[in-house]
Structure 1
Amino acid sequence: MLRSSAAVHPPGAQNGVSQLRSIGGSVVVRPNHLRLLAGDPRAGDPTLVESYRRLADVFHEVLAEQSLDALLVRIADTVGDLIPLDTLTIYEADETKQVLKPVLVRDVYADEIMSTTISFAEGITGWAARHREAVLSNQAHLDPRVRNVPGTPLEPEALICVPLIARGQIKGALNIYREGDAVAFSEMEFEIAKRFGDAAALALDNAESRAQLEHQARTDSLTGLFNHSVFYERLLQSLQESSRTHMPLAVLMLDIDDFKHVNDVHGHAVGDELLRFLAEALRAIVRPEDVICRLGGEEFAVIMDGCGGEDAVRVAERVQTRLAAVDFPGIGRMTVSVGLALGPEHGMNPRELAACAEAAMMTAKAQGKNQVVLYAEDSTRRPDAPGIERDVRSIAHLKMLQSLTGKLNRLNDVREIGEAIAAELRSLVDYHNCRVFVSDGDELIPVAFLGDLSSDTTALPLELLRTRIGI
């Protein structure tokens, strides 16, 4: 079993084939991409015409896939429908390092193949990537460039290897195999595989771009930590898991003391270095499964599943010790005030629990800074009004309304407004489902639904939820 292959198509055979391109994230398919090449003697072949029709049908499905993992499965399923095969491998390319790494394998030797990285300088697959040319080899095991995957047997096989190229960059390679002495791929199948490879490459490029944009939307660019939106999303998940398993949950909220003074006196570049240092200190101290977020400014938070109050206090103290050990030039030693809150003891929803941790952090600052304070409802203080008791849950509700107001002010579509209301309420109330209606006379017209109607998760049209006032 070689899992690489040989013969090369004639030079220039790919000219005019790649007619897919991406414009501003949108896919444009030029009409002649799926049209039979002028003068092709096979143009009247009904089998070929049907193959091209099938190819056109699957293009939309592949290009519409959103998730990168789901796209790989879709590519594998689709090429198997278009071209009968025995095994296949999809590779991801790192053009900087000039290597191909397997990302999806359908083969009895999947473990061996997945553990083998291929250089652009070795094997038929590497040759195809380096020369940016597809390969058809009906006797791959005899090709002088073949490279056998360690741990797999040497067996006769036919191979089509298609380098996946989008926007001038190698995205990966698609290898499809037939096993046995008398097997072969036809020229028509080779042509279909190449044209399908164009769509697969563009789909991979689009999926990678979406994944990168989603990552940027969920992370803080300065520290690389998750941002505040991920904090509330993950805190909701942790609270739900804690409620299900009855395991403790701790939230740490940290704020760098006198950070404004550092920015004002030493400049924002120095302040940014302190923020990055604290982010690295947190990564080094907390467990890999803990969720670290930068909420904004000099404020950070850590979600620790299965962690009680005493363990959380020890983690916070280790952070303070780490910071105290470093003498920053011109600044001295950095300190942080830390507030702790436990769920669901102190709060049953993300907004309330976060507000409790923040109140404890403010109490730490009011008590002289560089403190670790566990939330207690009857002893919260703030630096600006140390003698005034605050209703933490009212503050949480107010923040939720402020957040929701900000989102709604940016929306015009009624359904989007309804979806924003349902999503924001979920951070405050752990509901089974939420339905948002607008009234039209006596009628209540549904505009948004979030959650499950029953144990059956089959999606239902919103129109079925239409009702009337008083019913």
Structure 2
Amino acid sequence: MTPPPAQLQVLFGSPQGAVWLDKRGRVRWYNPAAQALLGQDLMGVSLSKLLSPYDASRRPVPREHSALAAEGAAQGLFALIHVDQRWFQVSCHPLGEGRLCLLADITDLEQQAMAYRTTLEVLSGLVRQEENLADLLRQVLETAVAVVPGCDAGSISLREGDSFRFVAQVGFDEALIGHFFPADLELLWYGEGETAWHLGRPRLIRGSEIQQRSAAQAGELAELLKKHGRVREIQASICVPVVLQGEVLATINLDNLRNPDGFPPEALPIAQAFGIQTAGLLYGQLARKSLTSQALTDPLTGLGNRRALEDAFPKLQAQAKRLGLPLTMLYWDMDGLKRLNDTQGHAAGDQALKRLADSLQAFSRQGDAAFRVGGDEFVSLHLNLPVSEAQELIERVRGNLQVRVSAGSAAIDPEMSLEEALFQTDAAMYRDKPRQR
């Protein structure tokens, strides 16, 4: 047996783990810090059986391929302790007739890097528009459950108005997905106050406190969590508000189902990293929706534009055919807009256009849609409105305006093109215009 070099004794009290390997790669000396890191008596053990290298794709390489066991390959090795999922950077240096290996615990850095890296991969999917938001959030959650130490299960809830909706789950029942619950109940579950909530601070609760907060949930939500959320099994729970510009857009809940102390200290900052990345993901989604909305919306009136009409017309036409309901198109033209602009200014003309748009929306029913297709021209589509009743609607709209509007109508059949429908209603509108004297 090769004796360890005497100079190793200077490393005995070092806070960094140090291990000396003989020619065969077996441990012949180690300091207390190494034993604390690796959690066992190391003497005579082949270090390559404890440490497995990790490749660029972050997938474990079989132990028999360990770089520590290969001649000349040990510099800068990332290794995974399989027992407790700790990460180490191992650097080896020739010393005497063997090698000195220094172990640095980089678990926090590696897990945070993995959190950022994997969520950035998800964000790239958003940029490529390959998946919808629910799928992206599910990927974020799956990664968080895999990466955050101590995590066994989790869920993501997305804010919609004054409610939250479950959009992703791991480790629970798929029946959770799609259920809505009031925003104040989510804030109650978070439990750290509105200031921390809007700052996106992660919180951790354990044991009986989980059951107390669960019991405070109201009616249907409480039953839902008991039946499908395994709430009675949760031993520790992290909640991360996903915040964008001070508003909570979603929450990430990560749960340990085995041990009240199952989340180590580094779990909170790593979970928060996922909250930050998810906020970026939601920002991208909202920005994309905003751009889409802008492309389809008239900026002055807020109605759909010609492009939006082209998108909506075949859908309403198909719906009318499927339901066996009439579909009527109305073409509207504001008389004398130029005169109004010339005499009272363009601000007055804009107000008149907005008033017409507001009136079209005010007298709309479910299934109706209105569009501004030109400077003073509007089109509205009315599902389940017979063309014989169109004049009554025209008069109601006119009665809400201070300027006269000409209007014409046509019944839309299932085979009619948008161009033909516009031609017929435009012709009817011109017949309605006041005759010049």
How high is the TM-score relative to the length of structure 1?
0.56
Deviation at 1:251, TM superposition (A): 0.5
State the match for 1:287 in structure 2.
365
Q: Tell me what 1:264 maps to.
A: 342
AA partner of residue 117 (structure 1): D
The alpha-carbon distance between structure 1 residues 193 and 229, as it changes in their structure 2 partners (threshold 3 A), is same
The answer to whether residue 278 in structure 2 is matched with residue 278 in structure 1 is no
Counterpart among 125, 138, 148 of residue 76 in structure 1:
138
The alignment status of 1:359 with 2:427, answered yes or no, reads yes
Write out per-residue CA displacement over residues 317-355 of structure 1, whole angstroms, 9 at most, x where no aligned residue. 2222333xxxxxxxxx4211111122128x721112112
- Match for residue 295 of structure 2 among 208, 213, 217: 217
TM-score (ref. length: structure 2): 0.60
Which among 394, 407, 411 is matched to residue 342 of structure 1? 411
Q: 2:253 aligns with which of 162, 166, 175?
A: 175
Compared CA separation, residues 274 and 221, structure 1 to 2 (3 A): same
Tell me which moved more, 310-319 or 51-60. 51-60
1:117 is aligned to 2:184: yes
Q: Could you tell me how far 1:244 is from its partner in structure 2?
A: 4.8
CA displacement, residues 134-187 of structure 1 (integer Å, 9 cap, x when unaligned): 223334716999993223278454211223345777544322234577573344
Instruction: Choose which of 59, 80, 91 in structure 1 pairs with 2:120.
Output: 59
Segment of structure 1 superposing worse, 138-147 or 76-85? 138-147
Q: 1 CA distance for matches of 2:197 and 2:212?
A: 17
Structure 1 unmatched ranges of 5 or more: 1-35, 95-99, 324-332, 370-382, 384-471
User: Is contact 1:124-1:145 (8 Å) kept?
Assistant: no
Alignment gaps of 5+ in structure 2: 1-77, 79-85, 90-104, 146-150
Counterpart CA distance in 2 for 1:339 and 1:219 is 23
Pair 1:183–1:73, CA change in 2 (3 A): farther
Matched residue SS, 1:210: helix
- Kindly indicate whether residue 375 of structure 2 is the aligned counterpart of residue 314 of structure 1: no
**2: CA distance, partners of 1:112 / 1:229:** 34
Contact 1:162–1:175 under 8 Å retained in 2: yes
Distance 1:178 1:70 in 2: 28
Q: Does 1:247 align with 2:321?
A: no
Deviations 1:190-221 (A, max 9, x none): 44422222221111112112212222221122
- 1:129 deviates by 2.0
2:221 aligned with 1:159:
no
Distance 1:85 1:73 in 2: 20
In 1: Cα distance, 2:296 partner to 2:384 partner? 24
- Map residues 15-94 of structure 1 onto 2, 5 A cutoff: 42-44=87-89, 49=110, 52-53=113-114, 56-65=117-126, 70-83=132-145, 84-92=151-159
Deviation at 1:292, TM superposition (A): 0.8
Q: Tell me if structure 1 keeps the 8 A contact 2:198–2:247.
A: no
> How far does residue 80 in structure 1 lie from its aligned partner after superposition?
2.8
Q: Report if the CA contact (8 A) 1:79-1:193 is conserved.
A: no
Give SS of 1:296's match.
coil
In 1, distance between residues paired with 2:178 and 2:406?
Answer: 49
Whether the 8 Å contact between 1:252 and 1:357 is mirrored in structure 2 is: yes
Q: CA deviation at 1:307?
A: 2.5
Task: Please list the CA deviations of residues 384-403 of structure 1 after superposition, one character each: whole Å capped at 9, or x if unmatched.
Answer: xxxxxxxxxxxxxxxxxxxx
Aligned ranges 1:189-204 → 2 under 5 Å: 189-204=267-282
Structure of greater relative contact order (alpha carbons < 8 Å, 6+ residues apart): 1
Of 182-191 and 269-278, more deviation after overlay is shown by: 182-191
Post-superposition CA distance 1:243-286 (Å, at most 9, x none): 55553221100111222111111111111111121112111212
1:69–1:139 Cα change, 3 Å: farther
How many residue pairs get matched?
315
More displaced, 215-224 or 43-52?
43-52
**1:400-452, CA deviations, whole angstroms, 9 ceiling, x for partnerless residues?**
xxxxxxxxxxxxxxxxxxxxxxxxxxxxxxxxxxxxxxxxxxxxxxxxxxxxx
Kept in 1, the 8 Å contact 2:329–2:379? The answer is yes
- Give the distance between the partners of 1:164 and 1:198, measured in 2 at CA: 7
Give the 3-state SS of the residue equivalent to 1:65 in structure 2: helix
What's the counterpart of residue 35 of structure 2?
Answer: none
Whose Rg is larger? 2
Shift of the 51–201 alpha-carbon distance from structure 1 to 2, 3 Å rule, reads closer
The percentage of counterpart residues that share the same residue type is 24
Kindly state the Cα deviation for residue 222 of structure 1 after the two structures are TM-superposed: 1.7
